[in-house]
Structure 1
């Protein structure tokens, strides 16, 4: 019986020792797993960061391209905002380049038997020259031109087609070609009149600004 107890005691101790060894052997494995997990997490984070960087770089490139594409037209000609009768204004627009000379200006109480719904008419004799590389419609070159008595207010555009006695300009101008004719519109009475490109066009960057100042006494 005593011998049997000794055997059981030995077996019990052996079992305890084997259990301890087994526990020790499993710990390194857990550390390795943790290391592997951390490594995988690092790789995942690095991959996410790389993808985010690539996305930001792509977005930046797209923004740059969009800015470049939407940069619009930049005129290379300075504004001319104090021209007089007889002066030639040079226009540099997103359509073409051209010149207009204001030859004469006259304020009229009536025209072709009609009186103005404002205070008077102003009749301008002008010469238009196409200095661009392509043929252009005269009406396109005249588009946006107006006369006003107040630079802070919009003016009135060309009504030449409405009057039989006014020499309207139509057709196309070849490169280097010019044509003379008349521009007429209604005005309020003022000390000065301003023949100019509408500010909405010049202000948008589609053209430089050109303005003639016409004193009332020079247009009587």
Structure 2
């Protein structure tokens, strides 16, 4: 589990695509530089890479780690668009007893959104992000959402978009500070919203059965 509080910006040092017999890319292996998140990491640990929970498979001891990205992850996230030199938000899994600064983040991306607009303010930026209308029903004003691994508070909700405000710290220490309109971002909605919907649907079905 994560909290959406980014610990450092990492750099993709290598992308090794896996292909099938027809040469179609099916999976990938990433090597990412992140001196802080690798300082106490071990093979098998989880690290969120721009909001995607990945398992550490190799630690050369030079401040980098390797992780495999499966076909399902490539389909559902924007990690497949990463290339050498790409910047990613990194967060280690929450340690028991650690500070809980964001919200419940699983690292299970629900969909990919697109930055629609960006409006600079005196010390912050207002950003509008488009998303699938089917996903928008889980987004609530003043609720939480994870954007490329960053826990943010929703300021506005539409049928197929939502707004967030990026404070100076977020602009400085995450990749969101450099996103331009058209950029694609990984989205994870609040898991509590999904469980609530499921429980209500189940309760409704039970009531109908009676």
Q: Same fold (TM over 0.5)?
A: no
Larger Rg: 1
TM-score per shorter chain, which class?
under 0.3
* TM-score between both structures, scaled by the size of structure 1: 0.26
Q: Determine which structure has the larger helix proportion and give its number.
A: 1
TM-score, normalising length from structure 2?
A: 0.27
Higher strand share: 2
